[in-house]
Structure 1
Amino acid sequence: MHYTGINHLALATADMDATIRFWRDLLGMRLVAGLGRPGYRHYFLELSGTDMLAFFEWPNVTPIEPKDHGVPVAGPFAFDHVSIGVRDRNDLWDIRDRLEAAGFWASELIDHGFIFSLYSFDPNNIAIEFSCPVPGVDIRAHPVMADRNPSPVAREGSETQPGKWPAPTPTPFSERRIYPGEGRELVQGEDD
């Protein structure tokens, strides 16, 4: 398998206009695609050459309760925050200045040892972190386990452990089909 990044992270909003104003006009992400019909919109914003943020607009969704980044909760829960990578600390300062000028809360810049981070929230109360690498530190090149009591599975190391799942049976080429779905209308010349 060859992963290329996060194709898109799909989030939800009741106010697509406020969401576009924040992500496109304040933070500078291009709006690259939009799907819609009554009661439904699905828009995509470009993060990088391989990564996008997407928002569904659903009329009855409400902003989530504000929850500070990384603070534990109880009960059903699946998402804490999204961290968006930027080039360097100058980008973090630029984002912080933009957020504050627009009236959004922005944290101080935080040194985590391997990344510098800035924290905020979008208009939907989605917790956002903006992160850049600390110069000279690359945990991807040199994985580190600083947990003093790692789980048994984590003790196995950073690389894929073969034999932990059943071997797949490849789908024969003659059975590989791709079915039409939402979004084909974005491609010029495609009919519904």
Structure 2
Amino acid sequence: MDRDMFDTMTITKAMGALCATFLVYLLGAWLASSIYFGGGHGHSEQAYIIEVEGADVAEDDVVEEVDFAVVMASASAADGETLWRNCRACHVLEPGVHGTGPALYGVVGRPVQFYDDFAYSGALIEAADVWTPEALNGFLENPRGYAPGTSMGYNGMRSITDRANLIAYLDSIDG
């Protein structure tokens, strides 16, 4: 008689009950999640806003403008040399020797489209006539923003100190 208790039908019923319980749990978790998070997959608008007096501008959002001339005056060519490794994938420091980009020997202070044997994008000449330290700073910060349509695929160098150091290094290599 105990044998009938563990026949295959009883085991099948027990497994079915276990699977049904697990299914109800999963559906309940999905329903609770969609109710709690809004079902919009994170793209829904905030239902209400609590106004807090004096909290219009967060302290982290305040960006202090730094004068590039001040940063450039204290730039380190030695530190810029270590930053050069990012540039050498596409540029060369020998006069007239081009990589994917034009040779950067003597770039500081020279005309933007200096080499006749290099196919510059027209966007650069629209941005500047001469590669001054300020023009290089703007270009290195965001090439596509400074010269829209440029073929330079670099995303930019965010640190103003790094840009100044790199420009100081480029300025130092041509004597």
- The structure where strand makes up a greater share of residues is 1
User: Aligning the two structures, in what range does the TM-score lie when normalised by the shorter sequence?
Assistant: under 0.3
- The structure where helix makes up a greater share of residues is 2
Q: Return the index of the structure with the highest Cα Rg.
A: 2
User: What is the TM-score when the length of structure 1 is the normalising length?
Assistant: 0.18
User: What is the TM-score when the length of structure 2 is the normalising length?
Assistant: 0.19
